[in-house]
Amino acid sequence: MDTDLGEYEMLGSIKGMFVTLKSTFKKPVTDQYPNKRRPVEARYMGFPALTWDYEVIEPYCTACMVCIRDCPTQCMTASMKDNVLYKEEKSHRRKIVDKFEINLNRCILCGICVEVCNFDAIVMSHEHEMSVHERNGDRVDLIELLDMGKRFQRDTKWIPPSQLKKRSSVSDKPPIVSPPDKDGI
């Protein structure tokens, strides 16, 4: 190696040691994980969960299958049933979710299901520690999903996004630009 270092021989390692020495007296920034957990950001996308309508006492979800069709990994299944509360005129939902299952091992946390949902029924919760002992332990059913959703609603004081939109002024909606080609969209 013919790199000319000249008088700088050994200076580099001394400089490196000096940096190490400086860091020795700094307060460590490491969090001791199981004892102390860092809070996640407000927009954090954890595993999907279903929300609970506390006004009517039923889930928001009507099992309309929009999220299931748009999921890139096909990790969800659902079925619907007639809503008993609708017949008693307590609810405006004609149909209601009967079964809902998400295989969280397949879920890639992309958030597309939340974007396409028309009923504010699904949210990306803040849960991310879902290790289980069984191979199929991460297949969560409706009850578990609603529990996750209720925890999320309680922790973040969740307001349905459609209500948020109604509250804020209508003028900040993006203008709809029609593309030049009518086959475009």
Partner 1 sequence: MVSYDDVPISDSSSEFDMLLNMGPQHPSTHGVFRMLLKIDGEVVTHAEPHIGYLHRGSERLTEVEQYHQVVTLMDRLDYLSNFNNEWVYCRAVEKLIGVEIPERAEYIRVILGELNRIASHLLFIGTFGLDIGAMTPVMFAFRGRERIQGLFESVSGARMMHNYFHIGGLKEDLPENFSDNISQLILRLREDIEETDRLLSFNELFVSRTKGVGIISKDLAIDYGWTGPGLRACGVRYDVRKSEPYSVYDRFDFKIPTTLDGDCWDRYFVRVMEMYESLSIVEQALEQMPEGPVNVLGRRLVRPPKNDVYMKAENPRGEIGIYLISDGSDKPYRLKVRPPSFCNLSALKELITDSYVADAVVILGSLDIVLGEVDR
Q: Summarize as ranges the residues that interact with partner 1 (CB under 8 A).
A: 1-3, 5, 8-13, 15-16, 19-20, 29, 40-45, 70, 72, 108-112, 115-116, 124, 173-177, 179-181, 183-185
| Residue closer to partner 1, measured from CB, 96 or 126 | 126
| Residue closer to partner 1, measured from CB, 121 or 142 | 121
User: What letter represents residue 180's amino acid?
Assistant: P
CB of 34 to partner 1, least distance (A): 19
| Residue closer to partner 1, measured from CB, 57 or 108 | 108
CA distance 146 to 140: 10
Q: Which residues of 94-112 are buried (b: 16+ CB within 10 A; e: fewer)?
A: eebbeebebebeebeeeee
Q: Is the dihedral of CA 73, 76, 79, 83 positive or negative?
A: negative
Contact 122, 64 (CB under 8 A): no
Count Cβ atoms below 10 Å from residue 49 Cβ, excluding itself.
24
CB of 139 to partner 1, least distance (A): 21
CB of 40 to partner 1, least distance (A): 7
CB of 137 to partner 1, least distance (A): 23
